[in-house]
């Protein structure tokens, strides 16, 4: 789900980014694949990233571009692989679940102790 400069004609942003990590490895493997819905009978995979020398001040093109939707899909894939934000903040969903759990625990305690919280 990325735009690659050398992608076959018509694929544009119709590529998928997939991630995989094996428990015994400390690396994440990435695949850039064509989305079959847009590439018909042909399947494509990006095979290499090539580094080229550049000079200070030279205008540079991005290695690849992704839409917001594709960036979210990449984040979801990384989350599935166990990658979390380094600032230590959890997701909104996790916080909401914790808050609901605490409210449930308060209700149980209040009921058992017959107190009003």
The CA radius of gyration of the chain, in Å to the nearest whole number, is: 22
When pLDDT is cut at 50, 70 and 90, the band that residue 57 belongs to is very high
pLDDT at 5: 45
When pLDDT is cut at 50, 70 and 90, the band that residue 3 belongs to is very low
Above 80 in pLDDT, residue 116?
no
> Which residues are CB-contacts of 117 (< 8 A; sequence separation ≥ 6)?
106, 109, 110
> Which residues are CB-contacts of 60 (< 8 A; sequence separation ≥ 6)?
54
Q: Residue 4: which of 28, 30, 29 has the closest Cα? A: 30
pLDDT at 14: 72
Q: What is the pLDDT of residues 5-56, one digit of tens each?
A: 455 555 555 778 888 888 788 888 888 887 777 667 778 888 888 889 999 9
Tokens 């166990």, located at residue: 82
């Amino acid at each position: 789900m990325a735009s690659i400069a050398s992608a076959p004609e018509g694929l544009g942003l119709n590529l998928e980014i997939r991630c995989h990590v094996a428990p015994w490895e400390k690396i994440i493997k990435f695949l850039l694949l064509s989305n079959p819905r847009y590439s018909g009978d042909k399947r494509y995979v990006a095979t290499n990233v090539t580094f080229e020398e550049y000079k200070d001040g030279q205008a540079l093109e991005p290695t690849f571009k992704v839409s917001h939707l594709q960036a979210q899909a990449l984040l979801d894939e990384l989350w599935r692989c166990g990658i979390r934000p380094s600032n230590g903040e959890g997701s909104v969903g996790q916080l909401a679940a914790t808050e609901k759990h605490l409210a449930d625990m308060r209700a149980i305690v209040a009921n058992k102790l017959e107190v009003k919280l």
